[in-house]
Amino acid sequence: MSKKNGLPCAGGDPLALNRQLCFALYAASRAMTRAYQPMLQELDITYPQYLVLLVLWESEQSGGAGAEIGVGALGKRLMLDSGTLTPLLKRMEARGLLIRRRDSGDERITLVALTDGARGLRPRARDWVESQLDDSAVSRETLEQLRSGLWKLLEGLERSG
């Protein structure tokens, strides 16, 4: 039996589970979300909610505190649609993490802005992320290569999609 990376990998079968890039992605993505749970529980947020915070924190870094972003722009950044974001943002608003309001200039647009409470979570998230990088069982170089390869894959999938 041929093996690669210590994993059994039937050489002749193009449908072998361990040979599927799609499954490696699926499993790794969920495992990564699991790895974030300790931090997420401490902040009392979910993983997609954390991604929303990343976008809003980043907007405030460049645009100053109080920066607002529309649901559409947020969705483009995270590659999520309003069917996912609308209820998620409502839950975040209910938890006091952000405010939703209509754009006064274009009433179609719903703008979201961080609260001070959500701003206060940022240093805790940053510290945890940095400590995880320090403790990582995988080398920083491998992580770097992975990230770059994943973006290449994403571009390829977008192009053909």
Instruction: State in angstroms the smallest separation of the CB of 3 from DNA.
Output: 26
Contact string 72-91 vs a copy of itself (x = CB under 8 A): -----xxx------------
Phi-psi domain of 144 (left: phi exceeds 0; alpha: psi -120 through 50; beta: other): alpha
Q: Which stretch binds a copy of itself (CB under 8 A): 85-93, 94-102, 106-114, 135-143?
A: 135-143
Judged by CB under 8 A, the chain residues 6 through 45 that form the site for a copy of itself are 7, 10, 13-36
Is residue 2 a contact point for a copy of itself (CB under 8 A)?
no
CA distance 41 to 46: 8
Looking up tokens 């994993």, which residue turns up? 7
Q: Which stretch binds DNA (CB under 7 A): 10-18, 54-62, 69-77, 113-121?
A: 69-77
Looking up tokens 């993505």, which residue turns up? 29
What is the three-class DSSP state of 17?
Answer: helix
What are residue 101's DSSP bridge partners? Answer: 111
CA distance 132 to 126: 10
Burial-class residue 98 by CB neighbours within 10 Å (0-12, 13-18, 19+).
buried
Is residue 58 a contact point for a copy of itself (CB under 8 A)?
yes
What are residue 110's DSSP bridge partners? Answer: 102
Looking up tokens 């929303």, which residue turns up? 52
Contact string 100-129 vs a copy of itself (x = CB under 8 A): ----------------------x--xx--x
Instruction: State in angstroms the smallest separation of the CB of 107 from a copy of itself.
Output: 28
* Residue 77 contacts which entry, a copy of itself, DNA, none (Cβ below 5-8 A, type-dependent): a copy of itself
Contact residues: DNA, CB under 7 A: 26, 30, 33-34, 37, 46-49, 70-73, 75, 79-89, 91, 100, 105-110
